[in-house]
Structure 1
Amino acid sequence: MEERDTYKTIIKATEEVLFKEKKSKFYGFAFPIKNEEDAKQYTEELRKRFPTANHVCYSWQLGVQNPSYRANDDGEPNNSAGMPIYGQIQSFKVTNILIAVVRVFGGTKLGVGGLISAYRETAKLVLEQAVIIEKVIEAQLCLKFEYAEMDQVMRFIKKKQLRISSQKLNLDCEIRLAVRKSEMKSVVYDLKTLHKIEVSAMD
Structure 2
Amino acid sequence: MEQYKTVHEYGQDEVIIEKSRFIGYSKPIETEEEAREFIDEIKKKHKDATHNVWAYTVGMNMDIQRYSDDGEPSGTAGIPTLEVIKKEDLRNVVVVVTRYFGGIKLGAGGLVRAYTKGAKIGLNASKVIDKVLYTDVRFKIDYTLLGKVQNELINLGYIIKEILYEDMVTIVVYSRSGEVDSLKNKIIDITSSNVEVEEKEDFYLSKYNDEVILD
What TM-score do you get using the length of structure 1 for normalisation? 0.68
Name the % identity. 21
What is the match of residue 200 of structure 1? 199
1:35 maps to 2:30: yes
Listed one character per residue, the Cα deviations across residues 9-58 of structure 1 (whole Å, up to 9, x for unaligned) are: 466613233445xx8x4533133414236534432331222122354221
For the residue of structure 1 that corresponds to 2:61, the secondary structure is coil
Which residues of 2 match residues 157-196 of structure 1 at below 5 A? 157-193=153-189, 194=191, 195=193, 196=195
Q: Distance in 1 between matches of 2:29 and 2:5?
A: 14
2:12 matches 1:17: no
Please give the residue correspondences for 1:40-119 in structure 2 after superposition, counting only pairs within 5 Å: 40-61=36-57, 66-73=61-68, 75-76=70-71, 79-104=75-100, 116-119=112-115
The corresponding residue for 1:122 is: 118
Kindly provide the amino acid, as one letter, of the partner of residue 197 in structure 2.
Answer: E
Paired with 1:121 and 1:190, the residues of 2 have a C-alpha distance of 48
- In 1, distance between residues paired with 2:173 and 2:46? 45
Q: Distance in 2 between matches of 1:142 and 1:4?
A: 17
May I ask how many residue pairs the two structures share in their alignment? 196
Query: Cα–Cα, structure 1 residues 181 and 7, in superposed 2: closer, same or farther, change >3 Å?
Result: farther
Match in the other structure for 2:136: 141
Amino acid across the alignment from 2:14? E
Larger deviation, residues 156-165 vs 112-121: 112-121
CA–CA separation in structure 1 for the residues paired with 2:109 and 2:117: 12
3-state SS of paired residue (1:27): strand
Residue deviations 1:74-119 (CA, integer Å, cap 9, x gap): 6446654322101112334445543211244679988876654543
Distance in 2 between the 1:114 and 1:17 partners?
14
Q: Where do 5+ consecutive residues of structure 2 fail to align?
A: 203-215
Compute the RMSD of aligned alpha carbons: 3.9
Give the corresponding residue for 2:206.
Answer: none
Aligned-pair distance for 1:139?
0.5
Distance 1:146 1:156 in 2: 14
- Provide TM-score, normalisation by structure 2: 0.65
